[in-house]
Amino acid sequence: MFRHKKIYWLSFIFLSSCIEDAPLDSLSPAGPYARSIDELFWLTFWIAVGVFVIVQGALLFSVFYFKEREGSPEPKQIHGNNFLEILWTIIPVMILAAIAVPTVQTIFDLAREPEDALKIEVIGHQWWFEYKYPDFGITTANVLVIPEDQPVDLRCGQMMYYTTIGFQS
């Protein structure tokens, strides 16, 4: 009985994570920063999928093609094949470079602060957030108000406790 409940809840959680047009859908980024991070994620994901398919294909090929057969002689031991050692050093370096170059570009793009950004200081207290708008001299509690189509510079400081800030677009 307990096992069926566990399977029921796991399938419920899995299926509920597949909801389209949910208010907090991380697979449909809305802002330019989120879109650049999403593009980097998908690039890295598909490179990883390609590496996985190639490695698993080579593994399965080797397991079935080179399996021990009745009457087969002892295989010849090969040590120190310079070509293979250079090859399996260069290929991972190229894969890492293919991931590192766009990652560094994205990091630098995201680090550039727009000049017309609305500056907001966020201070996390035990049960609430304090938002200060220094350009306007306004302070709010638990209400973050930002204009549409304007970049925002959130400065998180003086977090009194471990807190998480979630945003909905």
Domain residue limits, the chain = 32-111, 118-156
**pLDDT of 15 higher than 70:** yes
Residue 98 to residue 105: CA distance in whole angstroms: 12
What backbone phi and psi angles, to 5 degrees, belong to 162? -70, 120
The strand ranges marked E within the chain are: 118-124, 129-133, 138-141, 152-156
Q: Which tens digit of pLDDT belongs to each residue from 69-105? A: 888 888 787 788 889 889 989 999 999 999 999 999 9
pLDDT value of position 37: 92
User: Shortest CA distance to 50 belongs to which of 106, 107, 94?
Assistant: 94
Count of alpha carbons within 13 angstroms of residue 57, beta-carbon side: 6
Tokens 């907001």 correspond to 120
Do the Cβ atoms of 110 and 33 come closer than 8 Å? Answer: yes
**pLDDT of 167 higher than 80:** no
Do the Cβ atoms of 139 and 145 come closer than 8 Å? Answer: no
For the whole model, what pTM was predicted?
Answer: 0.67
Report in angstroms the alpha-carbon separations of 60 from 35, 52, 55, 85: 37, 12, 9, 21
Please give the CATH topology (third level) of the domain spanning 32-111.
Helix Hairpins (1.10.287)
Average pLDDT rounded to a whole number, residues 61-68: 90
Residue 153 to residue 101: CA distance in whole angstroms: 26
Q: Which tens digit of pLDDT belongs to each residue from 107-165? A: 999 888 888 888 999 888 878 888 999 989 999 998 888 888 888 888 887 665 555 55
